[in-house]
Amino acid sequence: MYQQFLDHIQQQLDNLVVTGSDDELFAGGYLQGHVSLTAGQYELEESAPELGELKSRIQASLDKAIAAGELNPHDEALVVGLWQQLSQ
């Protein structure tokens, strides 16, 4: 389930490269960084998480970045909206 979810997200982000607007490309690239970072942490731990745990860790990573002021309100809305769409 874990790998299928990551593959699904990657496929959707790859599709944005072809069909996405500049805003969608930004949000996709930003989100991909958080997904890759989180997945990489699991690889270092040599564990495969439950899907819910993976989603929670990605959300926590995004929340931390938003709290640190990494995104302006417009970009935050784009990233959060894309994450909500992809994490369904």
pLDDT of residue 1: 78
Q: How far apart are CA 77 and CA 40, in angstroms?
A: 25
pLDDT of residue 51: 87
Which residues does 32 contact at the CB level (< 8 Å), separation at least 6?
Answer: 9, 10, 13
Note the pLDDT tens digit of each residue in 3-49. 899 899 999 999 998 999 999 999 999 999 999 999 888 777 777 77
Mark 28-55 as b/e (b = at least 16 C-beta within 10 Å): bebbeebbeebbeebeeeeeebeeeebb
pLDDT of residue 3: 85
Note the pLDDT tens digit of each residue in 67-81. 999 999 999 999 999
Q: Check pLDDT > 80 for residue 54.
A: yes
Q: Check pLDDT > 80 for residue 65.
A: yes
The full set of domain ranges for the chain reads 2-86
Q: Check pLDDT > 90 for residue 55.
A: yes
Where residue 20 falls (left for φ over 0; alpha for ψ -120 to 50; beta otherwise) is: beta
Question: First CA to last CA across the chain, in angstroms?
Answer: 13
